[in-house]
Amino acid sequence: MERLTGLDAAFLYLETPTHHMHVAMTMVLDATSMPGGYSFDKIKDFIEKRLHLVPPFRRRLVNVPLNLHHPVWVDDPHFDLDYHIRRIGCPAPGGRRELGEMAGQIASSPLDRSRPLWELWVIEGLKQDRIGIVTKVHHAAIDGASGAELMVHLFSLEADSPDPEPAPPREPEKIPNELELLGYAAVSKAKRTMTLPRLLSDTVGAVNRVVAGRRDPLVAVGAAPLTAPRTSWTGALSTGRNVGFARVPLPAIKALKTHFGCTVNDVVLALCTGTLRGYMEARDELPDAPLVATCPVSVRPDGENTVGNKVSAMFTSLPTNEDDPAERVRLIQECTVGAKAEHKAVGADMLQNWAEYAAPNTINLASRLYSSFGLAASHRPVHNVIISNVPGPPFPLFYSGAEMVAAYPMGPVMEGVGLNITVFSYQDSVDFGFMVDRVLIPDAWALADRVRDALVELLDAAGLPRDLARPAGTPPPATTTTTPPATTSPNGSSAPTTGTPPTAGDPTPASTRPTKGPAKKAAAKKSAAKKAPAKKPPAKKAAAKPAPANKPTPNKL
């Protein structure tokens, strides 16, 4: 038996019918590397042999009577693996968009608290003989860093790695009765009360340090909560979720980091800023003020491999109101330096310490009232988006013998903010997972498809080659030009037109890709504005049409 920490339990108390507090990961696996070929039973057998290495997969909650204290974890005596591992098929053609739709539906339902708080969905029928795995775990059990640590037990470095040692035999854990739970709660609360004076003193000191820093005009500061502008996705949540994915090359991000003299996290924030700016500009809803992002920060000591949450948060600005991409990076870097300094001034464990005093009934009731009455729309948003960056391994991983091709993380949206962007680096790529409220943002791909344009925009601002934005394995654009049909010149002679059509794999954003044409041609048609038709030259040929404002990402895995 193990009691939840206050922070772990807070994720339970904050959960409502529309505010789901689980984290998820959508993986794409190459089933052709599985020894002996793919089968669903192999996946299930693989997980069953590793259950004893992943404690959250076997434990369920037991609540204290009257919710007088935080719940406790106990081993589930009625554990049923078949309930947790499920099998479904992906609609044709089985690309990323179809996989994202399936992942969004899975994320739209809460977990059953009477069982261990996880589900694993095997999605068959993807392109290129691949399978999808969507794993959903409650935030009360893991955070981003501990979730990455669990990958050590569920993945291997080779396709045919041996199975782990079986679990040693032991007696089933006894479920505590109500009297034992009450007694344990009373002792725990008594010990906790003794630490309150010290916590109050530390809090007063932290507040004074932050206020002093904000009064000093020479000190960089982070963004402040409740100063965010209102956007179309800041509002009351619905029960539905949708998911979009994006992938960019890690070398491009590292090159930008070196050029601008910032961190990888600053470049990720700049990519998110450019993505959101493009999304809002296309909908004519770009606010004059910068957006505010909440960035979870792991405070887990190096070498600690316990499960649960060891996390804090900092607030930073996303200067979507700035035209110059290079200036956006500078502003982000300045703000994150200030946010980190304020986070250090507050203390890494301040949030965790105060969470221990969370009153279960009070917080849960307040959360449900806030959600049911839609109070998020009645005040200025606390923030606009949650952005997490979790580092992953630079080498390939195998899951039941199948090589992991991509891993798209999906964090929870919060009441009042229907957008979460979680980033995970794997080998030479950086994978973006967009979790959105289905009502507030009907099309998650309208965001995901803009990430590559935001990357090219930064590369142009840095004077770096656009080829860096090309995904690994994509052939470079063809250097040869094709000769289009000849046209008749005014003097009656025939001459070929010149120009190179866009090639597959061209990293140039569709909105900025140049199109060459002959010296004399009809005026290009534009859909945004109606103009009088231009006088046509003697030569008859079709008017060139501009490329669409945003070229969607090909629906491939």
Check whether the bond before 91 is cis (ω within 30° of 0). Answer: no
Q: Tell me the torsion sign for CA atoms 267, 272, 273, 274.
A: positive
Contact present, 313 and 296 (Cβ < 8 Å): yes
E-only strand ranges, 12-156: 22-30, 59-62, 72-75, 85-89, 118-124, 130-138
CA distances from 378 to 238, 319, 356, 502 (A): 16, 24, 29, 48
Phi-psi label, residue 67: left if phi above 0, alpha if psi -120 to 50, beta otherwise: left
Tell me which residue has tokens 């449900």.
368
Pairing mode, if any, of strands 2-3 and 72-75? antiparallel
Tell me which residue has tokens 């601008």.
260
Neighbours of 546 (CB within 10 A): 14
Report the C-alpha gap between 193 and 514 in whole angstroms: 68
Report the C-alpha gap between 425 and 248 in whole angstroms: 10
Of the listed 22, 69, 139, 383, which one is catalytic? 139
CA distances from 276 to 183, 279, 385 (A): 51, 5, 10
Pairing mode, if any, of strands 59-62 and 22-30? unpaired
Of the candidates 28, 29, 26, 30, the one whose C-alpha atom is nearest the C-alpha of residue 103 is 26
- 437's enclosing H/E stretch is strand 429-437
Tell me which residue has tokens 């089968």.
39
Contact present, 117 and 11 (Cβ < 8 Å): no
What's the CA dihedral at 175, 181, 184, 186 to 10 degrees? 180
The three-state (H, E, C) secondary structure of 350-371, written as one string: HHHHHHCCCCHHHHHHHHHHHH
* DSSP per-residue letters across 377-403: GGS--S-SEEEEEE---SS--EETTEE
69 flagged as catalytic: no
Q: What's the chain's Rg over C-alpha atoms?
A: 27
Report the C-alpha gap between 164 and 137 in whole angstroms: 23
Of the candidates 294, 271, 279, 316, the one whose C-alpha atom is nearest the C-alpha of residue 414 is 294
Report the C-alpha gap between 432 and 425 in whole angstroms: 9
- Write out the catalytic residue numbers: 139
